[in-house]
Amino acid sequence: MSNPILIGYARTSTADQKAGLEAQLRDLKGAGCAKVFQEELSSVSTNRPQLEAALQWVRQGDILVVTKLDRLARSVADLVAITETLRKKGVELRILAMNLDTATPTGKLMLNLLGSIAEFERGLMLERQREGITKAKAEGKYQGRQPTARRKAADVLRLRAEGKSANDIKEALGISRASVFRILAEN
């Protein structure tokens, strides 16, 4: 059998994390990845087209390489589904930061344990976040996201006074037609 081909997958949560993506790409290339799939979107996104493309692209004997576990899976269930897809295709998984390789029994055990711990930590973080928001709301410090269109109410009224149609206002301000009518009805 020929040498395995290393296929990389890199992901950052937002476009603001350019340095993180660049570091992942550097590490994946340094590990010898022949091809790298990359995307900039949240792990909670149900649609990760580049991950799906990587999973489709890999062939028996290949190794999917990621820098960290959290770049690949968003939960233990997600991790199990991904590793099962790889197993069925005869593809191993390597996580660089952990020096973990599912080609070994120890690597498989560690992957499952670490996935469980990561999901537990994420649950705790979300719980603390919800508690913090509840406390901030009770203290009057948290107002939530301000409606975008309502901040443009003065502009809507000005453009309407200039004789612009709802469609013209919508296009000029980048808000929905319903928002234009809502602002006009409130004023």
More confident residue, 75 or 162: 162
What is the percentage of the chain residues whose pLDDT exceeds 70? Answer: 93
pLDDT at 77: 77
Cβ pair 94, 33 in contact under 8 A: no
Query: Catalytic residues, which ones?
Result: 13
pLDDT at 35: 96
* Cα gap 26→96, rounded to integer Å: 12
Instruction: Note the pTM of the prediction, 2 decimals.
Output: 0.61
H-only helix segments in the chain: 18-30, 49-57, 76-89, 105-138, 153-161, 166-173, 177-186
The helix or strand, by DSSP H or E, that contains position 134, with its residue range, turns out to be: helix 105-138
Q: What is the pLDDT of residues 95-131, one digit of tens each?
A: 999 888 988 888 888 887 877 787 788 788 889 999 9
| Average pLDDT estimate for 33-45 | 83
User: Is 6-121 assigned to CATH 3.40.920.10?
Assistant: no
* Cα gap 38→69, rounded to integer Å: 15
pLDDT at 45: 63
pLDDT at 69: 86
User: Could you tell me the sign of the dihedral formed by the alpha carbons of 161, 165, 166, 171, in that order?
Assistant: negative
The helix or strand, by DSSP H or E, that contains position 38, with its residue range, turns out to be: strand 35-40
